[in-house]
Amino acid sequence: MKKIGVLTSGGDAPGMNAAIRAVVRSGCEKGLEVYGIERGYEGLMNDKMRIMDIRSVSDVINRGGTFLYSARSPKFRSEEGMQQAIEVCKRRGIEGLVVIGGDGSFRGARDLSLRGIPCIGIPGTIDNDIACCDYTIGYDTCLNTIMQMVDRIRDTTASHDRCSVVEVMGRRAGYLALNAGIACGATSILIPEVPYDFQRDVIERIRRTQRTGKMHFIIIVAEGIGGVDELATRIQLETGIESRSIVLGHVQRGGSPSVKDRVMASRMGYYAVELLCQGIGNRVVASQKSEIVDYDIFEALNMKKSIDIDLYRIAHEISI
Ligand code: F6P
């Protein structure tokens, strides 16, 4: 292996830069030529890339987002797009790729691997929804951001004896909502993995909490449930408590990465290059109980991840 490429794809996540940095630095140290590919698979298909050196990744470990930019590329999913990308790799002599992103990005990596370009996936998404990993790059920073935002919302919610219904990101998964809900002491947490009953799980919980003397309430709602405007209106109608809805939005995806995201991203980036140098491709680097491991991409994409129901139960038991 003499030349490799690195790209970020899908939604950006804090810590992606740390992962790119580790790939570039460990690649250079091993004598590889490392290409930084811009805007994910779009840049690969259109040959938008540059050779990176050790200094080209200085002062990026602390920055959120991805300095290589990111994109979701519908064209790359077609055979034509795929062949275009393979042509570019062949012309450049790129023999292996590190793809930092989520499940969608790994599907692209799997398809490229199948067509003879060995790829290693690194899980980068705030959603923590990749089945083979118990943690994904960006998740920790995002959780901390949500916690800080909701702490602020709580100040004003408490000052007015209100109920705030806060929607957090996560696509179809409830990991962010569940853990942020615990960290913020939410009265109720609604996630797509657990069916809920509005009367029992929202109104009754608010009323019970109210009877113990608490006058303000935070309800955390996963994006996969949505509908926070309507929920706030219904809560106000049923309880008489003045209610507000807040969609936190993209503020959750930005910001300087946490220690955990920087360290894990660095370890994963290093590990990915090690695999490529051993001639191993078609793998996803994953974190399991803080250990870095790797899985076959096909296997990884077929794995299922479930929410920790005990954690969900505990969250509600202690939030009264
Ligand atoms: O996957 C990360 C994520 O932020 C999800 O939580 C969210 O559903 C989605 O991306 C938003 O995507 P976009 O930035 O394209 O609106």
**Amino acid letter, 226:** G
- 229 among known catalytic residues: no
pTM score of the predicted model: 0.97
Confidence of residue 3 (pLDDT cuts 50, 70, 90): very high
Q: What's the pLDDT score for residue 146? A: 98
* Residue 125 sits in the same domain as residue 265: yes
Collect contacts of 23-28 with beta carbons under 8 A, ≥24 apart. Answer: 23/98, 23/269, 23/270, 23/272, 23/273, 24/52, 24/53, 24/54, 24/56, 24/57, 25/54, 25/57, 26/269, 26/270, 26/273, 26/274, 27/273, 28/52, 28/53, 28/54
For residue 23, give its domain range: 3-138+257-302
Q: Is the model's pLDDT at 161 over the cut of 90? A: yes
Give me ligand 1 centre to Cα 11, in Å.
6
CB atoms within 10 A of CB 131: 18
Backbone dihedral angles phi then psi of residue 59, each to the nearest 5 degrees: 60, 35
Q: pLDDT averaged over the chain? A: 97
CATH code for position 22:
3.40.50.450
The CA distance from 132 to 124, in Å, is: 13
Taking CA atoms only, the protein residue closest to ligand 1 atom 7 is 171
* Residue 26 sits in the same domain as residue 97: yes
- Domain assignment present for residue 100? The answer is yes
For residue 170 and ligand 1, the question of a CB distance below 6 A is answered with yes
Q: In DSSP terms, which residues pair with 245 in a beta bridge?
A: 165
Condensed to tens digits (0 to 9), the pLDDT of residues 202-248 reads: 999 999 999 999 999 999 999 999 999 999 999 999 999 999 999 99
CATH code for position 231:
3.40.50.460
Q: What's the pLDDT score for residue 194? A: 97
* Residue 151 sits in the same domain as residue 107: no
- Domain assignment present for residue 104? The answer is yes
Single out the catalytic residue among 127, 140, 201, 261: 127
Q: Is the model's pLDDT at 49 over the cut of 90? A: yes
Structural domains of the chain, count: 2
Ligand 1 closest atom vs CA 10: 1
Condensed to tens digits (0 to 9), the pLDDT of residues 62-86 reads: 999 999 999 999 999 999 999 999 9
Confidence of residue 318 (pLDDT cuts 50, 70, 90): very high
For residue 36 and ligand 1, the question of a CB distance below 6 A is answered with no
* Residue 221 sits in the same domain as residue 262: no
Taking CA atoms only, the protein residue closest to ligand 1 atom 12 is 11
Give me ligand 1 centre to Cα 84, in Å.
27
Q: What's the pLDDT score for residue 109? A: 97
Q: Is the model's pLDDT at 255 over the cut of 90? A: yes
- Domain assignment present for residue 59? The answer is yes
Ligand 1 closest atom vs CA 171: 8
Give me ligand 1 centre to Cα 13, in Å.
10
For residue 125 and ligand 1, the question of a CB distance below 6 A is answered with yes
The CA distance from 50 to 67, in Å, is: 13
For residue 5 and ligand 1, the question of a CB distance below 6 A is answered with no
User: Are the beta carbons of 37 and 24 closer than 8 angstroms?
Assistant: no
Q: Is the model's pLDDT at 284 over the cut of 90? A: yes
* Residue 228 sits in the same domain as residue 113: no
* Ligand 1 pocket test, candidate residues 39, 66, 106, 127, most atoms within 8 A of CB: 127
Condensed to tens digits (0 to 9), the pLDDT of residues 97-127 reads: 999 999 999 999 999 999 999 999 999 999 9
Ligand 1 closest atom vs CA 253: 4
* Residue 91 sits in the same domain as residue 79: yes
Q: Is the model's pLDDT at 271 over the cut of 90? A: yes
* Residue 170 sits in the same domain as residue 44: no
- Domain assignment present for residue 291? The answer is yes
- Domain assignment present for residue 310? The answer is no
CB atoms within 10 A of CB 55: 9
Taking CA atoms only, the protein residue closest to ligand 1 atom 3 is 11
* Residue 45 sits in the same domain as residue 90: yes
* Residue 69 sits in the same domain as residue 95: yes
In the 3-class helix/strand/coil scheme, how is the chain assigned residue by residue? CCEEEEEECCCCCCCHHHHHHHHHHHHHHCCCEEEEECCHHHHHHCCCEEEECHHHHCCCCCCCCCCCCCCCCCHHHCHHHHHHHHHHHHHHCCCEEEEEECHHHHHHHHHHHHCCCCEEEEEECCCCCCCCCCCCECHHHHHHHHHHHHHHHHHHHHHCCCEEEEEECCCCCCHHHHHHHHHCCCCEEECCCCCCCHHHHHHHHHHHHHHCCCCCEEEEEECCCCCHHHHHHHHHHHHCCCEEEEECHHHHHCCCCCHHHHHHHHHHHHHHHHHHHCCCCCEEEEEECCEEEEEEHHHHHHCCCCCCHHHHHHHHHCCC
Q: Is the model's pLDDT at 320 over the cut of 90? A: no
* Residue 126 sits in the same domain as residue 153: no
- Domain assignment present for residue 317? The answer is no
- Domain assignment present for residue 313? The answer is no
* Residue 178 sits in the same domain as residue 217: yes
Condensed to tens digits (0 to 9), the pLDDT of residues 163-174 reads: 999 999 999 999
Taking CA atoms only, the protein residue closest to ligand 1 atom 14 is 11
Confidence of residue 309 (pLDDT cuts 50, 70, 90): very high
| Among the listed residues 128, 101, 109, the one whose alpha carbon sits nearest the alpha carbon of residue 260 | 128
* Residue 92 sits in the same domain as residue 236: no
- Domain assignment present for residue 319? The answer is no
